[in-house]
Chain A
Amino acid sequence: MLVSLNEIKKLVKIPAEVSTEELVKLIGSRLVEVEGTIDLSKKYKGIKIVEVVSCEAIPETHLHLCQINAGEKDLVQVVCGAPNVRKGMLAVWLRPGCIVPQTYGGENFELGVRKMRGHESNGMLAGLDEIDLGDDHSGIVEIDPKFAKAGDDFAEKFGLNDIILDIENKSLTHRPDTFGLIGFAREVAGILGIKFKEPTVKFGNLDITTTLSADELSENVSDAEKVWVEVEDTKLCPRYTAGVFEVSGAGLKNALEINEYLTLDDVFLAKAGMRKISKIVDATNITMLLTGQPLHAFDYDKFVKVGGLDEPKIVVRAAKKGEKLKLLDRKEIELVEKDDIVICSNETPVALAGAMGGEETEIDENTKKVILESATFSLIHERKMQMAHGIFSEAITRFTKGQPEAGTVPALARCAAMLLKTPKDIVDFEVSETFAEDDISVELYLKDINDLLGTKYTALEVTETLENVGFKVMSGEDDLIKVIAPNWRTDIHIKEDIIEEVGRLRGYDNIPMNLPLRPFIGADRNKLFDLKREIRGILSDRIGANEVLTYSFVSKDLQEKVGEDFSESYEIVNSISPELQVFRQSIIPSLIDKMYENIRSGYKDFTLYEFNQVTSKKLGLTEEKVPEIENHLALISTGDFYDAKNKLEELGKRLNLEFKLEENNVKEFPYFERVRSAKVMLSGETIGVVGEIKQRVLRGFKVKEAAGFEINLDEVVDVPRNIVKDLKLSKFPFVERDLTLKVKAEMEYGALEKAILEALGKEEKLVYKLAPVSIYQGIDKSSKNISFHISFSNTEKTLESSEISDIMKSIEKKTSGLGALTV
């Protein structure tokens, strides 16, 4: 939304000590987000109003050679190609050195002196489009000689020495009243601490204010016509008002009449980003910009004809199945049953309520009478209609904020007053029903305000602040404050709404800062959050892995590639990206997906890991009836099973947790090669799988070798850690021995290791360490040699050679029981 500061200044007297810069800053901090400001004075600098003193056609061209009076000593020569240029008219002159406003902020085209067909031309006489106040390019702009004279500064005369605020609409979602200049100005007064004076408009004997009621207007209009208004559901249309007037009664030659001169109204519209269309439509648009209430004009006779009755019968209802409507933009739309609100003439839809009028009842040159509509509609439906039909007009933007019902009558009257002389010229006025004008009142104590804001405002300060923007305030005992909200404040319901008003209007930035006091209790630790942080340290700092983040949503194609059953996945039904189809069941597939690109970039040996949430329908729902989720850790590297296993074991060692590996018989993680992977157990529970990824899966990702693990951290977080660690220290020398055992090929390394450790464990006061050295297999595939490095020491004495040899013998005895031969 574009808001002119000059227009605001017409409605609020800004104190001299508040600079424009300060004012913009205050609006930004207390009312609305100001996205930017546009200084029009720069855009219209140096432009003059001039009189065309002479105008002669240049032979064999469409051009005219003009001498113009710019209120300066000498006349100036300008060549003009516009068909409407003529002697005696007042025009707009862009002199050499001026930037053409249309190009301002873009290519910034600067005018100069140039020769055209041998004649010198100084700058140009401008058309409406060139001064960026309209789209018309059919001729040059003409100015009413009663309004200005040659030599006048154009910007000054037309109020263009102005600052335009570019307002972020979203920050006013709840404030329909501020989508009109009057409402906006009221807020500006409020934040400056000034009491806002409602602007009134004289309309015959009637004073139009924001509180004008339907009865007051009814008493003043003629009742020559009979319009029927019928609203089927007041939820869809809380209030519908309609007025009828005659085009001749508005003093117009025809209903499409426009002003031949450039007017202040045209500039007013242009500054708000709108364009002049015709006197009638302009009046509705200007009224909307002032009050926030959009209006629509129908051709009376066409309306009656469509309805097939003698008199117009306006019906507001939800669209029915299969109904169609041809709109003003000549597009025929299929109406959405129940969601669309339509204005009907008797039974036939003639307008999409609040969004766009229909072609059938459009005003044209032959229009004799006009039905003027001023109504409010359900904002939820307006929003749906906006989305369904892609209509983003100034009017619907306002309707989606929910315009107040009380605003309909004053807006209709204001608009009529712009076109007609007296209310009697309104030949009929009808209202759907008289709504209950119950005041919204909220009671609260001064203490409530100060307690929530942390301020020390007095009752007087609060009262003043609220009264400035139209609230009625009554004080009771014990600083009880009764606040009655004005009829345009649809957002006031509870005392917090009043507290917000006080805090905002007086400035949140004026609230003294302090910190809450709390007892000296430590914050709880979040075990899972801390565990992830601990693991992050181990994997990144000790194992050299790189943490990644990948999307939680994957494609069904990816799940199919890795063998996951996507019918178990929660499917995303509205994604705008085709890749995001389901919530992932595990993380490893996303990590494999990230490998190829890194390999292609030249990385050969790397490890990626990620923590994230996963889910599948198999997990079921929680007590709250939401999907059960698991917190996983996944790791993948360009290595084999043992590489992944070593990393898992290192992690376990650093966490003081013992991960046990067993034959992989789990159904989850189908992409692991079953015989080259193992299930990971902790405290007797299966927590995941470690191992190599199937070759046929990897082929789909153009990766040759990958292994890793994925474990469920929810099963890890509560397992008690054994933080007591036997460091196996001794003051006496360690004996170092290598032991190579020849075993059958199928002999498990683990069994052998266990036997050695058992033998060592039997010795008293012995501390020992065992490390693998090699696993060798030659041509003979039926056997293999496993070498260990053993070191041990007695904690009380230096071992003698006989004792050492006894220990080695006991080991060999144990291992030979497994069929191992000492080499």
Chain B
Amino acid sequence: MEIEKLKEKLKELNQEYAKIKTIAVEERKAFGIEMNKKKQEILAKIKRAEEAAEDAKAEPLDITAPFDINSKKNEFKTRGSKHPLMTELDHVVDIYQAMGFNVMEPRQLDDEFHMFDSLNFSKGHPARDGYDTFRTSEGFIPIAHTSAMQNRALSAYKSRLENGGQIAVVIPGRVFRNEDVDPTHEHTFYQCEGIYVAKEANMGELLGIFKNFFETYYGQSLKIKTQPGYFPFTEPSFELLVEKPKSLGGKGDGWLELLGCGMIHPNVLKAAGIDSEHYKGFAWGGGIDRLVMMKYMLNDVRYFESGKLNFLEEF
């Protein structure tokens, strides 16, 4: 009924629009705009009404029943799959948890303060460009690194330091970079961040934790080495390389570049209200996607977010 009325109105409107020829030329534009606005309103109303009419035709069902009338219960399939990135993340987190690290997941939409300011990126510094961040119209940032959670992790566990304990947290999560997607670049990927703060913390321990982690992860003893790097939130900063393990076809000569890390910059501790004169810490972050790609010899990162069953079924 309503639809018919609306259609009738539309007809009338069209007739009225035909009068445009009789209107003074200078007023035609305004008239046209006004008429078109009305027309769009009616069309939208018709669309909504048609949708509502179709929705109303849907047959109600008994939500308390176990299955539909004259049908049987669907048996579950016996085999599904877990996403390889999630399985890997679980595996990584398990090792850190066994070492005593707590787990905090990052929030995917955050602000400038957590993404940059709290991490000692000075305002307008070109280093911020390197992260190719997405931004919302309100200025929020879909995080470009899991380090965006550092300030919250430090704040959340700060009281442990005062009681003579340590802050030991890993942050596994999804991050975003505003770049074109190709076989080796995704705008959406996963990282795992780690932070450790205590009265005494040094670089030897940072290296010790990595060696221990990767040896557990790959199930063999491994050499590690470093190369200098630059991150505003760590000082000293460096990158960590691990000997290519046998399980990935390593013969003791190749290296995998796996982590960026360093001793937490005093300004990052200060931003979380931690006295940097009395407490030291280290932090690191690495990508999860690459670990999985190496393991399954994947040459295209786009599989991960493809939602394709012929890929997912393999896991």
Contact = CB atoms under 8 A, between A and B. Distances in A.
A and B: real partners? yes
A523 B166 CA distance: 11
B263 A452 contact: yes
A7 to B, nearest CB: 21
Given A30-B228, A597-B307, A642-B73, A451 B202 contact: yes
Interface string A1-35: 00000000000000000000000000011111100
Interface stretch (A109-117, A479-487, A526-534): A526-534
B234 to A, nearest CB: 9
Contacts of B78: 544
Contact of B108 (A606, A629, A645): A629
B77 A550 contact: no
B70 interface: yes
B203 interface: yes
B166 A776 contact: no
Interface stretch (A84-92, A198-206, A244-252, A501-509): A501-509
A127 B237 CA distance: 46
Given A546-B80, A551-B188, A678-B63, A173 B312 contact: no
Interface in A554-586: 570-577, 580, 583
Interface string A625-661: 1110100000000011111011100100000000001
B69 A28 contact: no
B66 A541 contact: no
A583 B227 contact: no
Contact of A516 (B109, B140, B205): B205
A35 to B, nearest CB: 11
A37 interface: no
A541 B78 CA distance: 7
B289 to A, nearest CB: 11
A40 B221 CA distance: 38
B142 A583 contact: yes
A753 B62 CA distance: 13
A240 B189 CA distance: 45
Interface stretch (A155-163, A259-267, A744-752): A744-752
Interface in A512-536: 512-516, 518-519, 521-526, 528-529, 533, 536
Contact of A613 (B61, B83, B108, B308): B108
A232 B11 CA distance: 67
B183 interface: no
Contacts of B265: 496
Contacts of A32: 228
B284 interface: no
A608 B307 contact: yes
A31 B81 CA distance: 45
Interface stretch (A141-149, A351-359, A466-474, A668-676): A668-676
Contact of B102 (A524, A627, A677, A775): A524
Contacts of A550: 305, 307
Contacts of B99: 523
- Best-buried of B105, B228, B265, B310 by chain A (most CB within 10 Å): B228
B136 A583 contact: yes
Nearest to B211: A513
Contacts of B18: none
Given A494-B266, A526-B105, A673 B204 contact: no
Contacts of B198: 516
Interface in A82-134: none
Contact of A577 (B127, B166, B187): B187
B4 to A, nearest CB: 20
A784 interface: yes
Contacts of B203: 452-454, 503, 508, 511
Contact of A546 (B207, B235, B236, B312): B312
A605 B77 contact: yes
B134 interface: yes
A777 interface: yes
Contact of A519 (B58, B101, B129, B165): B165
Interface string B84-100: 01100010010001111
Contacts of B200: 451
Interface string A363-400: 00000000000000001100100010000000000001
B68 A629 contact: no
B212 to A, nearest CB: 6
A526 B89 CA distance: 14
A597 B308 contact: yes
A571 B180 CA distance: 19
B238 A694 contact: no
Contacts of B237: 500
B174 interface: yes
A544 B200 CA distance: 49
A515 B168 contact: no
B209 interface: yes
A504 B140 CA distance: 37
A332 interface: no
Interface in B34-65: 51, 54-55, 58-65
A28 B241 CA distance: 12
What band does the interface of chain A fall in when counting residues whose beta carbon is under 8 Å from B?
35 or more
B93 A529 contact: yes
B81 A676 contact: no
A508 B135 contact: no
B24 interface: no
A173 B121 CA distance: 13
A598 B313 CA distance: 12
A768 B22 CA distance: 84
A576 B230 contact: no
A591 B304 CA distance: 14
A639 B107 contact: no
B64 A753 contact: yes
Interface string A677-705: 11000000000000000111000000000
Contact of B227 (A29, A499, A513, A607): A29
A548 interface: yes
Interface in A594-616: 594, 597-598, 601, 603, 605-608, 611-613, 615
B195 to A, nearest CB: 12
Given A170-B130, A625-B111, A695-B54, A453 B204 contact: yes
A696 B51 contact: yes
B74 interface: yes
B137 interface: yes
B179 interface: yes
A497 interface: yes
A590 to B, nearest CB: 8
B228 A546 contact: no
A542 interface: yes
A173 B312 CA distance: 40
B41 to A, nearest CB: 17
Given A500-B237, A514-B205, A528 B107 contact: no
B249 interface: no
A542 B102 contact: no
B178 A574 contact: yes
A173 B142 contact: no
A572 B54 CA distance: 33
A601 B211 CA distance: 44
A551 B230 CA distance: 30
B65 A775 contact: yes
A663 interface: yes
Contact of A529 (B69, B105, B305): B105
B76 interface: yes
Contact of B142 (A522, A553, A605): A553
Contacts of A751: 64
Given A500-B236, A676-B61, 15 more contacts: A30-B227, A380-B125, A452-B280, A496-B235, A504-B236, A511-B203, A524-B102, A540-B80, A552-B188, A576-B180, A606-B309, A627-B140, A661-B64, A751-B64, A772-B73
15 contacts: A29-B228, A33-B229, A387-B129, A453-B202, A496-B263, A500-B237, A511-B207, A514-B204, A544-B78, A548-B83, A580-B134, A580-B187, A626-B107, A646-B74, A647-B76
Top 5 nearest A-B pairs by Cβ distance? A750-B64, A454-B204, A544-B77, A594-B307, A454-B202
